[in-house]
Amino acid sequence: MHSKTPEVIEMANLIGRSTSSISIRLGNFASCDPYHQNRGVKGMVGGIKQCQPIWDEFFTNQGELIFLSESILAEKENLTIESKFDELLFDLRNLKGETKIREVKTRVNQNVFRQIVVANYSVKCAISGIDLPELLFASHIIPWSKNEEERLNPENGICLSALYDKAFDKGLIGINEKYKILISEKLRKRKDEDYYAKYFESLENKLISLPQRYLPKKEFLQYHLDTIFNLKS
């Protein structure tokens, strides 16, 4: 990200810093990321020393990082986290204490996860190519409830439209380590139905559209095949 990137300009205006200082800071954080290290990204030595402890603190605690970041952004915008995400949280208004805090954090983090995953797939379903955001979901490969550590890992998400999101969640379809689609036995038994020919027949062994950066982790796809695919069907 350079100083003319729209997001850099937006952040600079929000926190009252120069775009160049934001760009340099982001470069220093990027140099702490193993992914960017492998790409040869190098930051400023002094800046890295400041950024590395922060990176280490949050690298394995993405949930806290996301929620804290969104809370700070809301504060900079003179909003509360509840007012910023009012459409997501409107039905939690009567909750109190730890229960409300937990639910607010969960929904905010899920919303950010969705934004990351959908953007990673260029706002298109990886199976159908549908590009209407209102119809797109960030489908977890390992379900949210099964692995707290990987809940917000973008490698644990695939952008799918509503039909294929539900089919994947229920184990009616799967994706193998070569990123090709598998059809469950239960779904195959419906091959004489019109909807099968229309929505599923052509999917067998079809390669999904791959994302810009965060490929679905193969271990996660195998987990889905072993514990969800066919078993729920």
Taking only the tens of pLDDT, the chain with its 233 residues reads: 677 888 889 888 988 899 999 999 888 888 888 878 888 888 787 888 889 998 888 887 888 888 999 999 899 889 988 888 888 888 887 778 888 888 898 999 999 999 999 999 999 999 999 999 999 999 999 999 999 889 999 999 999 999 999 999 999 999 999 999 999 999 999 999 999 999 999 999 999 999 998 999 999 999 999 999 986 54
Q: Is 107 helix (H, G, I), strand (E, B) or coil?
A: helix
Residue 129 lies in a domain: yes
Judge whether 233 lies within some domain.
no
C-alpha angle with apex 58: 217 to 16, nearest 5 degrees? 115
Residue 132, domain extent: 123-227
Q: Cα(68)–Cα(76) distance, rounded to whole angstroms?
A: 12
Residues 127 and 211 in one domain: yes
Q: Which of 59, 87, 104 is the last residue of a domain?
A: 59
Same domain, 53 and 65: no
- Dihedral sign (CA 186, 192, 195, 200): positive
- Tens of pLDDT, residue by residue over 102-135, are 889 899 999 999 999 999 999 999 999 999 999 9
Burial call 36-50: b when 16+ CB within 10 Å, e when fewer: eeeeeeebeeebbee
End residue of a domain, out of 59, 89, 107: 59
Same domain flag for 87 and 169: no
Last-in-domain residue among 9, 38, 59? 59
What is the model's pLDDT at position 233? Answer: 44
Contacts of residue 170, defined as CB under 8 A and 6 or more positions apart, other chains included, come to: 228, 232, 233
127 and 186 part of one domain: yes
Answer whether residue 232 is part of any domain: no
Whether residue 108 is contained in a domain is answered as: yes
